Amino acid sequence: MNEPEIHTTDYEAALREAGVRITRPRRVILGILADMGDHPDAMEIFQRAVAIDSGISLSTVYRTMKLLEGIGAIHRHAFAGGPSRFEPAVGEHHDHLIDIDTGDVIEFQSDKIEELQNEIAHRLGYEIVHHRFEIYGRKRKKR
Amino acid sequence: MNEPEIHTTDYEAALREAGVRITRPRRVILGILADMGDHPDAMEIFQRAVAIDSGISLSTVYRTMKLLEGIGAIHRHAFAGGPSRFEPAVGEHHDHLIDIDTGDVIEFQSDKIEELQNEIAHRLGYEIVHHRFEIYGRKRKKR
DNA sequence: ATGCAGTTGCAAATGATTTGCAACTGCATT
DNA sequence: AATGCAGTTGCAAATCATTTGCAACTGCAT
Ligand SMILES: [Mn+2]
Ligand SMILES: [Mn+2]
Ligand SMILES: [Zn+2]
Ligand SMILES: [Zn+2]
């Protein structure tokens, strides 16, 4: 009858794995990450964190995001014209379409494009380390 | 027997068109643009400019880049982990592969990818305003 | 040659992110 | 449960790229 909070625990396991301490601020941030359905920036994460524990600092948010990025637990996206946004690194790889009017981020995935990328890189004599594919668009007026 | 310097003149025409004055600093920067074969950042452009006219300021480089970007004469690329880089907006659209070891920028073009992008955006109900497609890679070890 | 709005250089401001440092606190060890 | 100390934190100050206020200049239309 009790819901095990698998999400948070998973992250904590990953952190212990990485040999870092599970502190109060980190636990709060991990909790936020666990049910993060969007792509918030550091300030937004900071505000969500403060709502849970008012003692947390923005520095710690930045430090924790960097730490999590380092162990591959989250992805950082530097979309055009704004601060970095983050998202948990769970699930399949995908790219993003950013609504330039609202800032909304829509995810999409194209095996074809990923494949073409590889062909291109190899043709040029390179191995892909990572890539960035972002479409900036405006909602098509309904007809 | 004389080589007409069409490049610089072209830019100047575009600027006059936009109703701005052709000043000394601008003429210098336009000259640099005209035979820019790479993707330099503002500081690099500033240094090339100073080598021609020591009185030019970095602010003016930034202001001029913004101006030129505004009239569509150049493109600004905010590649990962560094300052914006610029390139004249001549020729076909292309995307970039960045060598993460050297910073070198290699251009490529794929009609297929551009087309797939359009399909994706339209399927999601959006019109593409612009996009960013960057491959970050490392030179494949020769075998 | 003249006038003035557009430009410039310089310094200071900005915004996002990082960092130095002294005060804390997990947590492995008694 | 008490102890010790390296890892962490909050805060303020620093960094970095870029922008901006402002007073001094200068294209260029008249
Ligand atoms: Mn995403
Ligand atoms: Mn290019
Ligand atoms: Zn992708
Ligand atoms: Zn493209």
Task: Give whole-number Cα distances, B24 to A32, B18, B55, in Å.
Answer: 54, 17, 10
- Residue B68's CATH number: 1.10.10.10
Nearest to A129 among B124, B133, B137 (CB): B137
Which residue of chain A has the CA closest to B142?
A125
Protein-to-nucleotide distance from the CA of B82 to the C1' of C7, whole angstroms: 29
Q: Are residues B71 and B115 in the same domain?
A: no
Residue of chain B minimizing CA distance to A131: B135
Domain containing A118 equals 95-137
Domain assignment present for residue B72? The answer is yes
Residue B32 belongs to a domain? yes
pLDDT tens, B39-62?
999 999 999 999 999 999 999 999
What does the alpha-carbon distance between residue B99 and residue A21 come to, in Å, rounded to a whole number? 36
Whether A71 and A21 map to the same domain: the answer is: yes
Same domain, B14 and B84: yes
- Whether residue B65 is found in the same domain as residue B127: no
Whether B49 and B116 map to the same domain: the answer is: no
Residues A83 and A102 grouped into a single domain: no
Considering the domain boundaries, does residue A75 fall inside one?
yes
Q: In this model, does residue A133 exceed pLDDT 70?
A: yes
B137 and A122 in contact by Cβ < 8 A? Answer: no
Nucleotides of chain C in contact with protein CB (under 7 A) are: 6-11, 15-20, 25-27
Q: Which ligand is the nearest neighbour of the Cα of A111?
A: 3
User: What SS3 state is found at B14?
Assistant: helix
**A75 and A13 in one domain?**
yes
Asked if B125 reaches chain A (Cβ–Cβ under 8 Å), the answer is yes
Question: Is the same domain home to A115 and A55?
Answer: no
- pTM of this structure: 0.88
**B61-93 residue pLDDT tens:** 999 999 999 999 999 999 999 999 999 998 999
Q: Which residues fall within 8 angstroms of residue A65, CB to CB, at 6 or more apart? A: A42, A45, A74, A76, A84, A86
Strand, coil or helix: A125: coil
B2 inside domain: no
- pLDDT value for B128: 96
3-state DSSP call for residue B34? Answer: helix
Q: Where are the alpha helices (DSSP H) in chain A?
A: 6-17, 24-34, 42-52, 58-70, 111-123
Question: Residue B1 domain-assigned?
Answer: no
Asked, for residue A114, whether it belongs to a domain, the answer is yes
- Is B45 in the same domain as B72? yes
Under a CB-based contact definition with an 8 Å cutoff, are residues A78 and A84 in contact?
yes
Q: Which nucleotide minimizes the distance between its C1' and the CA of B63?
A: D19
Are both B12 and B71 inside the same structural domain? yes
User: A69 and A42 in one domain?
Assistant: yes
pLDDT at residue A5 is higher than 60: no
Q: Among the three residues A88, A107, A129, which one is the final residue of a domain in this structure?
A: A88
Q: Is residue A33 part of a domain?
A: yes
Is B40 among the domain residues?
Answer: yes
Q: How many domains does the structure of chain B reveal?
A: 2
